[in-house]
Amino acid sequence: MKELSLHILDITTNSINAGANKIEIKVEIDTNENYFRINIKDNGKGISKNIQQQVMNPFYTTRKIRNVGLGIPLLKAAAEQCEGFLKIQSVENVGTEVIAEFKNSHIDRAPLGKIEESILTILNFNEKFDLIYIHDVNGKRFVFDTREIKEILGEVDIKTPKILMWIKEYIRENIDKI
């Protein structure tokens, strides 16, 4: 995909479909160690051992309407093309963690892109869940946590258009500041 933020959106959708109510997305960029790492961790229903290998295969999907599922395979191929890897750690009924690592300076590594747009799309899903986004560049961190936002908002719905627009700008501004 043109932007890694679209991969993040895709993988996070799997977490929501797995019934997660807490999702943590971490983007870590280290220019000294030269890696760009994406880590998506959820507390969804998890993936059984024998299916963990199958999800790497593009012909595996839980959907019934078509026989192709490309979320994980596309991210895996993108990472491997940039001298990186993709790893899945999952325990049934506990949760799943997807780690994709790229060589940061690799010429084919797509830019992160508009991560704030991906987060907004995720927040707009109907299911109830908390989302934590951590953006770390060489140890300098920005943390966005919907639990904190919800506490401030009280009765006000996080999906109110004005709030969402504010969140989008807030995330962008803070990432740009790092």
Partner 1 sequence: MNIKNMIEKLELDEVTNLSNDIEFENVYIGDLLSVVMSNAKENSIWITIQTHLNIVAVADLIDIAGIIIVEDMEVDKDTIEKANELEIPILTTDKSAYEIACGIYKLEN
In the complex, the residues that contact partner 1 under the rule CB under 8 A are 1-2, 6, 57-59, 66-68, 70, 73-74, 77
CB nearer to partner 1: give 66 or 162. Answer: 66
Minimum gap (Å) between residue 7 Cβ and partner 1: 9
Longest Cα pair distance anywhere in the chain, in angstroms?
A: 47
Taking the C-alpha atoms of residue 154 and residue 150, their distance in angstroms, rounded to an integer, is 6
Query: CB 173 → partner 1: shortest distance, Å?
Result: 28
Distance of alpha carbon 129 from alpha carbon 159, whole angstroms: 12
Alpha carbon distance 121, 163 (integer Å)? 13
Measured from the CB atom, the residue of 59 and 85 that comes closer to partner 1 is 59
Least distance in angstroms from the C-beta of 1 to partner 1: 4
Q: Rounded to the nearest whole angstrom, what is the least distance from the CB of residue 68 to partner 1 in the complex?
A: 5
Nearer to partner 1, 68 or 143 (CB): 68
Residue with smaller CB distance to partner 1, 64 or 66: 66
Rounded least distance, CB 73 to partner 1, Å = 5
Backbone φ and ψ for 106, nearest 5 degrees, come out as -60, 135
Rounded to 5°, the CA angle 52-57-58 comes to 130
Residue with Cβ nearer partner 1 (6 or 20): 6
> Quick one: how far is CA 142 from the chain centroid?
15
